Structure 1
Amino acid sequence: MADDLKNKGPQDRSKISLTEKWEVEYLTTLLGCTEADLREAVEKMGNSVQVIKDYYFK
């Protein structure tokens, strides 16, 4: 079965994948941060979407 290229949801919605350009762009827009800030946050706190959101929306 072919991949649906219109469905750009992450495979695991609870984890951040910094290798997917569209996901990095989405998260930096959502969180209001730069790519460098997002990468630093993931390096310090891990790749849990909820942990990163809590950090930016505290």
Structure 2
Amino acid sequence: MADDRSKTDFRDRDRVSGDEEYEVGYLASKFQLTIPEVRELIAKHGNDRETLEREAKKLGQQQD
């Protein structure tokens, strides 16, 4: 079932849904990663936003 973007509570703000293109795309563009790289991070580290952003930042720095 797709996320209802009209519901703006904070229940899952600390999670990234790997099934939602806009969430994966946002994380990819924020850290200059590809969609497959972000999906790999989600598979490896889970969907905790703080952990993913930390690992994405590391991965982005390695590519420079």
Give TM-score scaled by structure 1 length: 0.72
Note the residue ranges of structure 2 that are not aligned, 5 or more in a row.
59-64
Structure 1 runs (4+) deviating above 2 angstroms are: none
Note the residue ranges of structure 1 that are not aligned, 5 or more in a row.
none
Amino acid at match of 2:35: E
> How many residue pairs align between the two structures?
54
Amino acid at match of 1:21: E
Q: Which has the higher helix share?
A: 2
Amino acid at match of 1:24: V
5 Å-filtered alignment, 1:20-31, equals 20-31=20-31
Give TM-score scaled by structure 2 length: 0.67
Q: Distance in 2 between matches of 1:10 and 1:26?
A: 18
Q: Distance in 2 between matches of 1:18 and 1:54?
A: 17
Q: Which has the higher contact order (CA 8 A, sep 6+)?
A: 1
RMSD across aligned C-alpha pairs, in angstroms?
A: 2.4
